[in-house]
Structures are given as structure tokens and as C-alpha cells.
Chain A
Amino acid sequence: MLNILPRPAKIESDIWVDEAIWGHRLYDEQTPWLTILEFLGIVQSETLANRAFIEEKVNDLRYTTYSRLYLRNILFNNPSLEAILVEFSDDETRWKVWIEQMNQDSGGLSNSDFSYLKSRFASFKDFVAIIKFLQGSAIEGDSNKRWSSKFVFPYGPNCLYEDLRIKDTSASNDRRFFGRTGELLYLMLSRSSKGPEILFYLQKLGLIVDTKSQIKRSKWDYLVATLQPQSDIDKTKPSGSPPYLPLENLPEYDAMANDWLGVLQCDMPDYDCLPHLVTIVGVHLIIYLLNRAKEVLEQPPQPNFILEIVSPKKTVIRDLAASSFLQNNNLPQQAVEFYIKKSLVDAEWKTCETSSDPIGDAIKFLNIKFGWPNDDHDMEGAGAPNKLVETLCSKAITRHASHLGKFHRTWAREIGLSSSRGSKRIRYVPTDSLLRTLVLCTVPFRMEFQDFLTELYNKYGFIIGDKQAADIIASGGADQEAFAANAYRLEQRLVSIGLLKRLSDACAYVQNPFALEVSQ
């Protein structure tokens, strides 16, 4: 049995079940990219405070965040920029009209003054070109999210800020899209043994900058800094209550950290490693989600994922991959029910049932265990402890279903692990970009193809070839040929994206293209 850390004294949750199992919290609406952005903000803040990836006291993460509202207004709340460029012919007027308009219409700022920009650019046209360029590479730039939930690409520390809710001149952190998943990611990597190494590489890339470090900052980061007034650049505020990650040590933390290092050590230009980091975080958080659920359900660890390598015709693997998806998708909710039921086997609960004030004692018990009920509304119609538990169960499940219950489905789709392409059911069917990430994480230089399949199974529980599917084949779920054909399709896919070198009909090597030149 793993040792669960004590839950925080102050609980920001109306039913302490999801958080007790998985932490506070995994959030479906926070996409993997936004998770990384939240994470990078924390690392930067903690680096400046000299304690990056060091958790001095467990579950007590407090850091500072940036708002960068000037930058965000310019990039994402600036609808008339191009109209002004076209409408007026001389630069002087363009700047004047634009600055006036921005000073008046910007959100979340009081007494704003955008006039600092004029002297920094050779012309208004150049300014527009740069804004358009930064908008083009923005994260969630094309989405229909509110403007304060759009993010400039994380070129460096001057690009990091938190998700906010803006109302007129005020800004508040409503955790709408920064739902603490990045905080959990930060805690997980801090609790792995690889924090310092990861920090080294993040600094090498210029994503994180230490004031003392000699590493040259990226020119893109400078560029983004240029769009902000000096007064806004260093303005910070505290992060609020700390997140909660229930387990101090888990092999999953190190597995994720190792994969990060696998990606970070590849020789890739620019910020090419970032999308891979984003994807692999997704894989590991899904495994974490399912592993924790399996532990609560007292099932052996390591979830399995049957992956269909997309085939033009319907195959038996397609059905198996869909069933595998469904089975995993149901695990978290089963864990929630089981967790509540299991807590009631407790002797204390039995005494409630027989006590003089069963309802009163039950409420006390449930309050200690689950932080519920909070008010009379929660207890409506509860005449007996059992009724109360039923209400709790149904409320916990409703609550679970609205966010955490969607995590597996949403994130699997986001990272390219699942899709319903060509079928009515969602199934595990990896995209090329996910496959590429898996190769970078798994193959330091080259690896024989069958070994690669074994490694994917050992690391992630991915079942692709017939050797990994031995149990399914033995139970008659599919024949060996079907899985062998699935592996063959993977081989073809890897060849086509330059990740596999076939020597003959019987021998092939998966290769990491970004390690190739270094090692040769």
C-alpha cells in the first residue's frame, strides 16, 4: 500500500474524492499545451527563487505569476491594428490613432499607456508585421477562447504568464484553463530524481533563464520583451493556495522524467522539442490517471492500450482497440465508486449506523473523509446514513463525470493517441506525430523493430505486435496474424516518416533521426 500524503488543511473542493485519488488536480479543459505553459511559468518563478524542482515541504508549492497584460492586449485584444494600417497613410497618425484606441479599449489595465512602443519600431508597418507573426505562432491563437486565454509561444521567460479572467480594468485568476494540471506536472518532475538535469536542458534551450546564467537568451524572447513596458515586465503576484499531489514517490514520476530527458537530449533545432514534451506529458498523465485508478480498484498496475495502426479496412484490431479504449475510459469512474464504498467498510461507519444520532454521526464521518456535505442542500432527502451515502456517490460521480471523467478521452485525442476516424467508436489509433515522439523517447540511437515493440509495451503498456498480444491471442480474442499485420503497418508508417530502416524482409531498425548525426 502506498503512503498517501495528508490532504491540505484548506480544501478547495466540495467533495474530496477525485482529488484524494489523483491530486488537486487533473483538469480536462486544460490542454497539454496549456499544462506545459503553466508548468514553465512555475519553473521560471522557482528558478529565480533558487529552488527549481526542489520541494522543501511537500505539497506547499507557492510561486509567483506574471500577468503581462500589455503584451496580451497588443497580441490578442487588438482588433483594429490592420484597419489602422490601411486607413491612414502616414506613420505619425497611425501610431497616434492606435495608441489612443489602445489606451482606451485595453482590458485589465487602468491608466494604460501604450506610447512606449513607438520609439521601439522603425515603422508602424514593421510593428504590424511582428504582431501578425507572433499571432501566427501563438498557442490557442486560432481557438475561440477568450482573449485572455491565448498565449504567445513560449520563446523564453518574457513570454510566460498565467491564464486570467478580465473584467473591465480588473483581472482575476479563475483557473478556467490553468486548472493546476501544470502544477501537478511540476510536482511530479520535482519528485522524480531528474529535476536538476531537466532544468539544465530547459535553460540550455533558453526556455528558462536564470539571472546569473551566461546562456544567451533567444532573440524571440527579446522581441516579446520589447512589446512590454519595463514596469510590466517584472510585475508579479503570488500564486494562491498550493496544489496537492497525493503520493510522494511513484515510478511514474521517474518514467516521465526519463522520457523528457530522452527528448531534451536529442539534437533538434529551435523549439522543436517542445511539441514532443507536450505529447509525452499527455501519455504519462494518462498512464498516471489509469494507474491510480487501478490501484484504488486493487488491480495490478500498468494499464494496457491496444493500438490499432490505422488500416484502410476494418480489422479485428479496430474492435479490440475500441474496447480497450472503453475499458480504460471507465476505470476512473469505477475507482471513484470503489473508493467511496471501500471507505465505508471502516468500523467507524458501522458505529454511525448504530449510534443514537445516526445522521449526525454519519455527517461527521463523511465530512472528515470526503469534506462533504457542505450545506443543507447536500443533505436533501437524506433520512438515513445509507441514503446519505447514495447521495454522496451520485454527487461524486456527477462531479467526476463533468471534468476528470473526461480527462482520458480529451487528452488521448489531444496528443493523437485516440480518434474515431473511419468508425463510430473512439479507439486508440496513434498519429504520426505521436509515433515520432515515442521514437524520440524510446530510441536513443537505433533499436531493432521487435525490441522497439517490446519497449513500448514495457514502458507504456502499448500493445501493437503479436508478441505483446500473446494473452489476447491465447484467449481467442484475435489471431496472431491480425496483430502481426498491425505491427507490419506500424513498420510501414515508420518507414514513411523516416524513422525506420529496413534491411531486408526480416530485419529492421527503428532510428532516432536526431541522434543520428551525433553518434555517427
Chain B
Amino acid sequence: MYDEAIQRILKRQKNFPPIKFESKYLTDLVNNFRSDNPKTVILTGTAGDGKTFYCREIWQSLATQDDLWDSSKKIQSLSLGNKQLVVVKDLSELNSIEKIDLLKKVAEAIVNPDTAEVYLLAANDGQLVEAWVEAGNESSVQFVRKKIEDLLYFDQREIAEVHLYLYNLSRLNAAKIFPRILNAIIEHPGWNECSSCPYSNPSDFRLRCPIVENRSRLEGNPIENIFKSRLVDLLELCDLNGMHIPVRQMLLMIANALLGHPEVKDRLMTCEDIPNILDKGKASLASIYRNFFGENLSERRRESTDVFSILGRFGIGNESSNRIDNTLIFGEDDPDLRPYYEKLMLTDSYYGADANYQRLQRAYLEGALPDDEEAFLNLLRDQRQRLFFQIPKDLASEMQLWQLTAFQYAGEFLENIYRALQRSERIKMPLINRLVKGLNRIFTGLLVKNQDKLILATSGSYSQARISRVFEEFISVTKNRGESVSIDLDANTGNPILVVSLSNNVAKISMTLNLTRYEYIMRVAEGALPNSFSRECYEDILAFKTRILRQLFVRRRSEQEEESSENCIVLRLINELDSDGMVHNPHVLEINI
């Protein structure tokens, strides 16, 4: 319905070109339908991923002049040479009888390549699964339902035996689409109208329109755009943590970032609001850095909007380090911090240390009234959000940029793990060693420091016990007789995975290394307690250990290595660590039966 509404608006605003950007699968899909033997296509995805948009675009690429796209029709078709293409732009618009009738035909087309019809069907996957369940028990329907479930569950696009492509638009990488959307908006010809506006480029910068200011910040420096690259970082981390942001949400986020202001109607500025805002000196509330997190909206609205709730999990604004807060608060007078204060605060007099900030800062240092104090603390929040996007690259590690987020190791994870893997670089050994140290602490429940071998231990009774003292095996981190611990990219999902190999003859064990797990393991390696820092990650990693142990037993069986015999039991217990916190080859206990 969104797509339809947008088309209607476009028709009214004849001179206003639509915001358009390249869509990834479009060419592939059109080519499929142009081929001699087209396959049926099911498009799934979250609301706002662009399913209707794809249907319309595909239709328009294939249509002759007579075939007009009619958004009011639930099912429409056009001829593709010897076949008929049937397009259903939203399965949920059909009533249940229509649905059952349609799916039976779709099942037939998927099973049998010689049918006269080929389908393009869009639905979100929940409705899709539900509709197939309702479609009855005919063998072809059941068969196709199972195949579709498999495709969805294993996240695949095609599968043997069936004449079908399943495109899951939720698998589109937000970080990759975002720059395209951003450019389409920033470079839209509509902005030309601003050039004649007096607020566009006044002599006094304080009278500059915040919308224009926001756009120019977003546009940034063409050589190095830190703002954009940090935004892409955040979106990439969302992708890596399995938090999907649909296209519609990204459009919404950018629009809100440009126009947000908490004190105007609908909390979004229009040109008419500008004089009033500037008059009252409230331009700083339109800060694009706040708006990206939906700070202009009410808390309720912010939490119920997917994109802001997802970005909110980074805690940007609430998280900080002493270094940054000291600069923000004491930087003006502290000779050591002054250079940073100048560079980070004074250079930005529009959204940074403006007159209001400096007044409240002084009041705060001299012992402010409660109201002023609260106002200043709120400003600090705004400034941390701004700094996250503005700290220059060369200062990022010195200022510990990622401490401004809830994920201190996010930068390292993104740059040295994910992007390194994408560039086909080897992961640096010290990183793997730290990961292994964290894993060892979780696996044994002891504060061990071993980092070049993975320690496999059990409690003898419960493989997921908190403390595991029964030593089973050391696994070498560097490649050694088939043993290794490495980080790779998963061929199917493209996400980093931690891979443990026990032997060339035993299946490797892998676990997706998402942002949260990486943060968890690293924090444990630095001293956090495995069980108190994150229950969820703790359970995940213990389950991973269970899977490794299972393969270890497979290896033992295949190699027939069994130390115990009929009249003697051999046991190795980890009873003590040495003074460096290391576990060495544990003492062997032999018991005669």
C-alpha cells in the first residue's frame, strides 16, 4: 500500500522526480522471466523491503504498451512469449479461497516446468508459510511447502528438483544499500529550490537554515566523509548482528535526520518553521547527530520505530569514557585537554560548543541550579552522539571512539575481523589468541590465561557445567595435524564464523561470530565473569563447546585412542593453575580396578 500511495503522490507532483536508486536483484529477476525457461519467483521480506516495488519494476520492464500496471488488481498477468506471467504483488490481499486456489496452481508450476503459467509472488515469509499450510494436503502442495520451508530456513535461493527461485529481500545488506539511498536523496534536484532562499547561505552562520546545514553535513567532504562512513559502520554492525533494517526504514531514518526538531509540529521541520527556530536560537535542537537516533521524537515513538529501536541498542549518547567526558566538561580550562576541546568542540559552533553550551558548562562547573544541571547533562548526551560521528579517524583510537557505544570492541570486530576477511586477509594471531583465551575461560570456568591452545574440559557429568575440571584435550590454535582454530566467512551468509577443526577426518565445528558474541568473548578475555556478563552469550558458547566435545568423541572413536583399559582408569583433572594462570598438561591419575 505504501508503493501505491507513493505512486499516487508522484502523479500529482508532476515536476518532482521520484527518489530512485539501483536495486540489486532487479536485472537477475527480469532476465529470469525473459529467458526461454523462466522459473517461478517468490519474493519474501520484511515490511518495507520493497516487494511491491520489485513487482512493479519487473512488470514494467517486461510489459508492452498494452499491459498497464494496475495497483488495484490483486492478480494480474502478461504474456511472456509462449508463457503467461502471473503477478501477485501481495499474497495477503487475497482471501483464503483465492489463496488456496492460487497456491495449488503455483505448486503445479513449481513442480512441473511445462505449465503454461509462471508466477511472481510477493509475500512476507510469515504469511507465506501460513498460506502454504492452509493450502491443503495435496501431494504437490505438501512437497512445495516443504521445499519453501527448507529454502527459508537454510536461507537459500534455489534448491534441486523444483522450478523456483526464492528471493529473500531481508538478506539485502543495509550497509550496501544505504549509500545509494543517501546519494539519491542528497543529490535530488529538488534541493535546487533552496538556492534562492535567504536562509540558505546568510552572512551570519547562526541564521543558517538547519535543514540546509544538515544536508551539507550529510553530504560532507567528498574526499573523506567520516559521518557517512560511521553511519555505514553502524549499519554494517546491525547486519552482522542479524538486525535487519528495511529500505523503507532507512528512508525514514534519513528523512528524520534531515528534518527532525523536537519543538515543531510533527517534530519534523518545514521551511515555514525555520524563521521561528532561528529567532529563538533553537537551531541546535535540529542536530542531525541527534536526529539519527530519533532523539527529536517522543520516547514511545522512538521505541516503536524499528530503525531507532535497533540503533538505540548501541547506547550512543549514554555510553562514554572518562577521556571523552573530561574533554567535554573540563576541556576548556584543562591545559592537557584544551587542544582536544578546541578540535572537537570549538570548531563546530553550530551543533558543538555554541553559546548555550558554554553558558551551561560554566554554570555546571561553578555549581549549577538543578534545572541547569539537568539541561547540561542532556547536552552532554547530544555531544557524545555528535562526537561519535565527528571524531576524526586519526583521533579515533586515542579517544577510544567505540567506548561511546555499548560495544567497545565493535570497531575492532568490524575492521580487523569482518572487513579483513572480506579483503581476504589473514586474521592477526593476537586477536585469535585473545578470543581463545576468552573461550578457555568460558569452557573451563577457571581464570586461565592459555591462549595458544583451546582447552576442552568437562565436568564428567554435564558438559555445560559452570566449572569443568575433567581435562579432555588441548586443541592447537595454529594448524597442527588437522587441528586449528580460525575465523572465516560463512560462504552462505557472508558472516564471520569461528571454526574449530579437530582433525582432517572429523567434521569442523563452526559458530557464527556476531557482534554481541565477539564483544562477550573479548570482555571475558579481559576479565569479565563469563556467567554474569551475559547469560545468553554464555549459553551460546557452552552449546558450542558441547558440539566440539561431540566431535572430539567422534575423533577418539575413529582413532581408537582410549587411555583407560579393562583394569586401569586414566583421568586427568585440572586441579591447579600455575602462577601465570596457565593450565599445563594435567597430572594423570591412574586408578587400578
Residues of A within 8 A of B (CB): 119-122, 126, 129-130, 133, 136-137, 153, 155, 219-220, 222-223, 225-226, 267-272, 274-275, 432, 446, 448, 496-498, 501-507, 509, 513, 517
Chain A minimum-CB-distance residue to B124: A506
- Residues in chain B near residue A121, CB distance under 8 A: 589, 591-592
Whether the pair A504, B45 counts as a contact (CB closer than 8 A) is yes
Chain B minimum-CB-distance residue to A138: B461
Q: With A153-B461, A226-B592, A269-B553 given, name 5 new contacts (CB 8 A).
A: A121-B591, A133-B469, A274-B461, A432-B539, A496-B535
Interface residues of B in 226-255 (CB under 8 A from A): 242, 244
Whether the pair A506, B46 counts as a contact (CB closer than 8 A) is yes
Chain B minimum-CB-distance residue to A492: B536
Whether the pair A129, B153 counts as a contact (CB closer than 8 A) is no
Chain A minimum-CB-distance residue to B550: A269
CB contact between A504 and one of B46, B459, B539 (< 8 Å): that residue: B46
Bound: A220/B458 CA distance, A: 13
Whether the pair B536, A137 counts as a contact (CB closer than 8 A) is no
Whether the pair B44, A129 counts as a contact (CB closer than 8 A) is no
Whether the pair B153, A506 counts as a contact (CB closer than 8 A) is no
CB contact between A505 and one of B47, B536, B543 (< 8 Å): that residue: B47
- Residues in chain B near residue A119, CB distance under 8 A: 592
- Residues in chain A near residue B591, CB distance under 8 A: 120-122, 126, 130, 223, 226
Chain A minimum-CB-distance residue to B591: A226
B470 within 8 A of A: yes
Interface residues of B in 488-513 (CB under 8 A from A): none
Tell which of B6-14, B525-533, B569-577 binds the partner: B569-577
- Residues in chain B near residue A507, CB distance under 8 A: 124-126, 128-129, 152
Bound: A269/B463 CA distance, A: 7
Whether the pair A272, B546 counts as a contact (CB closer than 8 A) is yes
Whether the pair A505, B546 counts as a contact (CB closer than 8 A) is no
A270 touching B463 in the complex, CB below 8 Å, given contacts A432-B535, A448-B129, A505-B46: yes
Chain A minimum-CB-distance residue to B546: A269
Instruction: Give the 5 A-B CB pairs with smallest separation, nearest first.
Output: A506-B126, A496-B536, A507-B125, A507-B126, A126-B589
- Residues in chain A near residue B592, CB distance under 8 A: 119-121, 226
A-B contact pairs, 12 of them (CB 8 A): A120-B591, A129-B573, A133-B470, A223-B569, A269-B546, A270-B458, A272-B462, A272-B464, A497-B536, A502-B242, A504-B168, A506-B126
Give chain B nearest CB distance to A120 CB in angstroms: 5
Bound: A277/B546 CA distance, A: 18
CB contact between B543 and one of A122, A133, A153, A498 (< 8 Å): that residue: A498
CB contact between B593 and one of A133, A222, A269, A513 (< 8 Å): that residue: A222
- Residues in chain B near residue A133, CB distance under 8 A: 460, 469-470, 573
- Residues in chain A near residue B550, CB distance under 8 A: 267, 269
A219 touching B564 in the complex, CB below 8 Å, given contacts A498-B539, A505-B47: yes
Residues of B within 8 A of A (CB): 44-47, 124-129, 152-153, 155, 168, 170, 242, 244, 458-465, 467, 469-470, 535-536, 539-540, 543, 546-547, 549-550, 553, 564, 569, 571, 573, 575, 587, 589-593
Whether the pair B125, A130 counts as a contact (CB closer than 8 A) is no
Whether the pair B571, A223 counts as a contact (CB closer than 8 A) is yes
- Residues in chain A near residue B467, CB distance under 8 A: 136
Bound: A501/B129 CA distance, A: 15
Whether the pair A497, B539 counts as a contact (CB closer than 8 A) is yes
Whether the pair B460, A504 counts as a contact (CB closer than 8 A) is no
Whether the pair B569, A219 counts as a contact (CB closer than 8 A) is yes
Chain A minimum-CB-distance residue to B44: A504
Whether the pair A270, B462 counts as a contact (CB closer than 8 A) is yes
A505 touching B124 in the complex, CB below 8 Å, given contacts A126-B589, A223-B571: yes
Give chain A nearest CB distance to B495 CB in angstroms: 14
Give chain B nearest CB distance to A242 CB in angstroms: 32
Give chain A nearest CB distance to B226 CB in angstroms: 32
Bound: A382/B18 CA distance, A: 94
- Residues in chain A near residue B128, CB distance under 8 A: 507
- Residues in chain B near residue A517, CB distance under 8 A: 547
Give chain A nearest CB distance to B466 CB in angstroms: 11
Chain A minimum-CB-distance residue to B537: A496
Whether the pair B589, A129 counts as a contact (CB closer than 8 A) is yes
- Residues in chain A near residue B589, CB distance under 8 A: 121-122, 126, 129-130
CB contact between B459 and one of A137, A223, A267, A496 (< 8 Å): that residue: A137
Give chain A nearest CB distance to B555 CB in angstroms: 13
CB contact between B549 and one of A220, A226, A269, A446 (< 8 Å): that residue: A269
CB contact between A225 and one of B168, B543, B590, B593 (< 8 Å): that residue: B593
Whether the pair A226, B152 counts as a contact (CB closer than 8 A) is no
Whether the pair B575, A504 counts as a contact (CB closer than 8 A) is no
- Residues in chain A near residue B470, CB distance under 8 A: 133
Give chain A nearest CB distance to B509 CB in angstroms: 9
- Residues in chain A near residue B575, CB distance under 8 A: 129
Give chain B nearest CB distance to A255 CB in angstroms: 25
CB contact between A506 and one of B125, B569, B593 (< 8 Å): that residue: B125
Bound: A123/B464 CA distance, A: 30
Whether the pair A271, B462 counts as a contact (CB closer than 8 A) is yes
Whether the pair A504, B464 counts as a contact (CB closer than 8 A) is no
Whether the pair A501, B153 counts as a contact (CB closer than 8 A) is yes
Give chain B nearest CB distance to A179 CB in angstroms: 24
Bound: A502/B591 CA distance, A: 49
Which of A448, A504, A517 is packed against the most chain B CB atoms within 10 Å? Answer: A504
- Residues in chain B near residue A502, CB distance under 8 A: 242
Bound: A225/B592 CA distance, A: 11
- Residues in chain B near residue A274, CB distance under 8 A: 461-462
Bound: A271/B459 CA distance, A: 10
- Residues in chain A near residue B242, CB distance under 8 A: 502
